[in-house]
Amino acid sequence: MLLQTLKNSQITDNEISELMISQEKVAHVQSNNPLDHALLVLIKSGYTSIPVLDKQYKVQGQVGKAQILDSILGMERIEMERLHEYFVSDVMTEKVPRMKKDETFGKALMLSINHPFVCIEDNDGAFLGIMTRRSILALIHRHLEKI
């Protein structure tokens, strides 16, 4: 019953801004960045995977440590010296979970089953931030505590 209510409910503007990590705090790269820069951002931020944005701050996809390391995997070792030969666009995936700010909580919940974060966009496709699986679970927990 509660889950049904949550599923159909709109995420209110308040909840979105409370739960969303806003764009300026999201570690990201651009598709024309060299791979060594992307790996540096990933290692420094400690995240497995981060959004790829274009110059207009629109979401293009995501890139992760595994994809980068896979691209420089030699027969016997990881060939770190080849990192600068590639760009983010060579290894990124365009598959990224995304939703509009005013879509239902059910969609965020559904997307978070298979993805650790969901990109939130405005109606023109501009990147607003991310909601993580952690924040979605926290919202459910908060609603459950109110029962």
User: Can you say how many angstroms the Cα of residue 112 is from the centroid of all Cα atoms in its chain?
Assistant: 10
Nearer to ligand AMP, 75 or 113 (CB): 113
Q: Which residue's CB comes closest to ligand AMP?
A: 134
Nearer to ligand AMP, 82 or 99 (CB): 99
- Residue 26 beta carbon to ligand AMP: minimum distance, rounded to whole angstroms: 4
Nearer to ligand AMP, 6 or 119 (CB): 119
Where along the sequence are the contacts to ligand AMP (CB under 6 A)?
21, 25-27, 45, 47-50, 116-117, 130, 132-134
Nearer to ligand AMP, 11 or 20 (CB): 20
Strands, DSSP E only, in the chain?
21-22, 29-30, 49-53, 59-64, 98-100, 117-121, 127-132
Q: Hey, what are 120's tokens?
A: 């939130």
Angle, helices 105-114/133-145, rounded to nearest 10 degrees: 130
Strands, DSSP E only, in 11-142?
21-22, 29-30, 49-53, 59-64, 98-100, 117-121, 127-132
Distances (CA, A) of 61 to 16, 26, 57, 94, 118: 21, 14, 12, 4, 11
- Residue 47 beta carbon to ligand AMP: minimum distance, rounded to whole angstroms: 4
